[in-house]
Structure 1
Amino acid sequence: METVLVPDRAVGAPATTNVQLLQAVLQSSVQLGVSPEALTRECRLTTPLPTTEHASIPSTQYLRAWEVIEFLTGATDIAQQVAERYDPRLIGIHHYLTITAPTLRDAMEINNRYRATLSTDRGARARTSGNGAGSFDFASDPRGPRGAQLSAQFGVFAYFVRACDLTGAPLAAEHVSFRQPAPAHHRHLIEFFRTDSIEFDAPADRVTLRAADLELPSRFADPNLAAVLAAAAADMQSPPVTDWPGRLAEILVAALDDGPVTIHQVAHNLAMSPRSLQRRLAEEGTTWRAELDHARRLRYERGRAAHLNDTERARALGYTDPRSARRTISRWANSQP
């Protein structure tokens, strides 16, 4: 089914979603028995849908499609059902960049690097913990539309499906969390993720994979093709990342230019109180300390502080004591595989 969305009159948000992601979700819903005609009518779609790598739509349209699909199917587990059926090949170069990476951990990093090519509406974010485990967070505002919640849940399921497919292994998640309240029964989730470590009413929709699993090779790894795809991706005009975590990270990295960073300083730059910033961080499933560490590591890995003496490196990373900077860099090194 090929469709194109007619912008809603209320659409004014700058965030966008790649039409190929929408097409993959719509195709999965048709496999579930949803009538293409009903989708066209309820989502106010016309044909055909643009198929270029760069075509995008307002994210509000994508989120509305999720609400329509849930309504038409009546399924309480629609995010899982769509994730089990969707064809990631439909999202184009982003998919092939990911699967040709050497390992699952590399695929996570590539997904982070090019995530704005799929959506600038908050979206997915990969994190690595101190023990080497890797988490994928899918942001959604609990006060936002139902479509945003379904989209985030879909991200959790779809990422796990893709990780299993990429490695060819029946992975077991280390931990899974959902913002939604606990359902009456969730045996199907335990079976899906192969773990009983599942949390509800959590700060974020998240799936965490074990460190050892992240080192598994991709069965589609192809360094030659990966190099060609990376060169092609470099020419892609990716829209700017407008999600809140991305904005916070850039503010933190920039603030390090002025020395030690405080939460009061960053809260002021975000036009909010320190307490509101702490609350927002909790909603995103993170902490001030974790985000500051993430910003320092970004700055270090970008090479801005890699060839300085101890005192200069400490200052560039926002420390007054060189020993603190050395301990942090050592911790980062020890967390690498």
Structure 2
Amino acid sequence: MADAHTASETHGEQDSIVLSKFLLTAAGSDGADPDRIAREAGLPGWALTEDEVMIPARVTMRVWELVERALGTPDSPVSIAGWYDLGALGLFDYLFANARTLGEAFESSTRYLHFVTTNGRLATVSEDEQETTFSFHYREGEPRQMELAEQFAMAVLCSRARGVTGEPVHPLHVGFAQSAPRHHATLVEALGAERGIDFGQARGSVTFRTADLCRPIPAADPRLAAILRRYAELLPPPPGADWREKFERELDACLAEGTAALDHVAQRLVTSRRTLQRRLADAGTTWRAELDAARRRRADRARRTGGHATSALAGQLGYSDPRSLRRAMRRWTAEG
């Protein structure tokens, strides 16, 4: 698992796109506009069509902030956790659901959390015959963003415990690093902690009876669990999408929309203008060269399919008039 942490330290913390997709779907079910949230958060369009890519954790955190604003309620994490069904987080969830006991399921979560996020940290901090305490926190994010994400994580952690055992398993205690909000009755009810919730803790934590962690998971399939574990051990963390491939895809999409400007493409890739220019330079190319190549690809496709008059195609490709496109086409022909 060291490779996952090395990658996160080099490129910043990352989240699986499945998390943002779940948040958008749940927010939409509660009346928010998921498309608007995705745009404002800077979620690249290509990412929303994928399941096995990682995006910067700061983007996911921004989604949380926008979801709360759109829903207009401080209880949005609890509301969204209510839409959670085991399996929504893919392999991570299936490893949990097929452990032999609830304790082994939590162990699976600590071991394979990087399949969902490298930004979150889940660990066992104390354990005896009576009680076992896990800590959970995020490394990156604005204070309010991390509060929302942590509340959701705790609510899902508790609902998963009840869901896989089929028993009314409740934590003994839940602690949050954030200050106590003015109203938190809904959060208290959702978590069902027998000794209640404390705020202003050094780190988020959840404590269960050790006996509850010994509860079997009735629907677990031991053979499937063994297969999933072997697969998970061999599987690298979900990859960040190949930036060059995604760059070309987003540039083509911007051309189709008539918005092929450097700033627009950088925004869709969730990066800055300067960073995009630097990455292109590192690859031995420039924005102008890539724009020209994308225009050529699109013009070639139009010629092959017989679509678009020259005047319409010129406008779509961002040329000021058809003569500019014709000059470019003559140059492309000469270049072979």
Instruction: State the TM-score bracket (shorter-chain normalisation).
Output: 0.5 to 0.7
In 2, distance between residues paired with 1:161 and 1:226?
Answer: 21
Confirm or deny: 8 A CA contact 1:101 1:107 kept in the other structure: yes
Confirm or deny: 8 A CA contact 1:67 1:146 kept in the other structure: yes
Deviations along 1:162-211, whole A, 9 cap, x unmatched? 11101111122111111222234443334323324211111122221111
Q: Does 1:110 align with 2:101?
A: no
In 1, distance between residues paired with 2:58 and 2:163?
Answer: 30
* 1:316 paired residue number: none
In 1, distance between residues paired with 2:170 and 2:134?
Answer: 14
Where do residues 192-211 of structure 1 align in structure 2 (5 Å cutoff)? 192-194=190-192, 195-211=194-210
* Bigger helix fraction: 2
Q: Structure 1 residue 149: deviation in Å?
A: 2.1
Q: Does 1:212 align with 2:192?
A: no
Confirm or deny: 8 A CA contact 1:133 1:214 kept in the other structure: no
C-alpha distance 141-117 of structure 1, shift in aligned 2 (>3 A)? closer
* 1:44 paired residue number: 42
Q: What secondary structure does 2:64 align onto?
A: helix
C-alpha distance 228-143 of structure 1, shift in aligned 2 (>3 A)? closer
Deviations along 1:119-159, whole A, 9 cap, x unmatched? 11143223442335233322146994421221122111110
Confirm or deny: 8 A CA contact 1:190 1:196 kept in the other structure: no
Letter in 1 for 2:198: E
In 2, distance between residues paired with 1:14 and 1:140?
Answer: 13
Q: Does 1:138 align with 2:136?
A: yes
Confirm or deny: 8 A CA contact 1:182 1:200 kept in the other structure: yes
Q: Structure 1 residue 107: deviation in Å?
A: 0.2
Question: When the two structures are superposed, what TM-score results if normalisation uses the length of structure 2?
Answer: 0.62
C-alpha distance 75-19 of structure 1, shift in aligned 2 (>3 A)? same
C-alpha distance 128-102 of structure 1, shift in aligned 2 (>3 A)? farther
Q: What secondary structure does 1:27 align onto?
A: helix
Deviations along 1:200-232, whole A, 9 cap, x unmatched? 111122221111111111132110110111121
Q: What secondary structure does 1:114 align onto?
A: helix
Deviations along 1:243-280, whole A, 9 cap, x unmatched? xxxxxxxxxxxxxxxxxxxxxxxxxxxxxxxxxxxxxx
1:57 to 55, 59, 78: 55
* 1:35 paired residue number: 33
* 2:245 paired residue number: none
Structure 1 unaligned blocks of 5 or more: 1-11, 241-337
Q: Structure 1 residue 45: deviation in Å?
A: 3.5
Q: Structure 1 residue 82: deviation in Å?
A: 1.2
Where do residues 219-298 of structure 1 align in structure 2 (5 Å cutoff)? 219-238=218-237
Q: Structure 1 residue 94: deviation in Å?
A: 1.1
* 1:14 paired residue number: 12
1:24 to 22, 25, 30: 22
C-alpha distance 139-76 of structure 1, shift in aligned 2 (>3 A)? same
In 1, distance between residues paired with 2:213 and 2:189?
Answer: 21
Q: What secondary structure does 1:180 align onto?
A: coil
Q: Alignment RMSD, CA only?
A: 2.4
Letter in 1 for 2:31: G
In 1, distance between residues paired with 2:83 and 2:23?
Answer: 9
In 1, distance between residues paired with 2:100 and 2:130?
Answer: 17
In 2, distance between residues paired with 1:190 and 1:67?
Answer: 21
C-alpha distance 137-65 of structure 1, shift in aligned 2 (>3 A)? same
Deviations along 1:34-67, whole A, 9 cap, x unmatched? 11232233223353524343x1001111111111
Report the count of equivalent residues: 228
* 1:325 paired residue number: none
C-alpha distance 219-24 of structure 1, shift in aligned 2 (>3 A)? farther
Q: Structure 1 residue 239: deviation in Å?
A: 7.2
Q: What secondary structure does 2:181 align onto?
A: coil
Larger radius of gyration: 2
1:183 to 174, 181, 185: 181
Q: What secondary structure does 1:22 align onto?
A: helix
Confirm or deny: 8 A CA contact 2:16 2:238 kept in the other structure: no
* 1:4 paired residue number: none
Question: When the two structures are superposed, what TM-score results if normalisation uses the length of structure 1?
Answer: 0.62
In 1, distance between residues paired with 2:132 and 2:14?
Answer: 27
How many percent identity over aligned positions? Answer: 32
Q: What secondary structure does 2:225 align onto?
A: helix
Q: What secondary structure does 2:123 align onto?
A: strand
